[in-house]
Structure 1
Amino acid sequence: MKQGFRKNRRDAMLFGVCAGMADHFGFDVLWTRVAFVALTLLGFGLPVLLYLTVAILAP
């Protein structure tokens, strides 16, 4: 059984949120970061808000 979401500090660039998401869902961390940056640059401010929220709340 899979554990809950955790930040990955080993592969972290800032807080480890993208690395943790990549580990949890089985994606490559590079593509997770690319998707986050692309969504942010397209004008969607929600990814930044979600990133900061998860950075604060996730273990």
Structure 2
Amino acid sequence: MQKIDEPESFETDNSKYLKWIIYIIIFIAIIIFKAAAKKEIRDNANEEIERSYNGR
């Protein structure tokens, strides 16, 4: 009886790589977004501090 090699999954190798590349791009985008948000929050806080300090 002949044994048939079955793939572990139905995905091709290219689609596996593409999926991981997309995951990496999304992960990097989240990191960049979080860094930009932190900078924006810090800038807004500094402006608010300057406004309250100059207003007194």
Please report the TM-score for the alignment, with normalisation by the length of structure 2. 0.33
Higher relative contact order at CA 8 Å, sep ≥6: structure 1 or structure 2? 1
**Richer in helix (by share):** 2
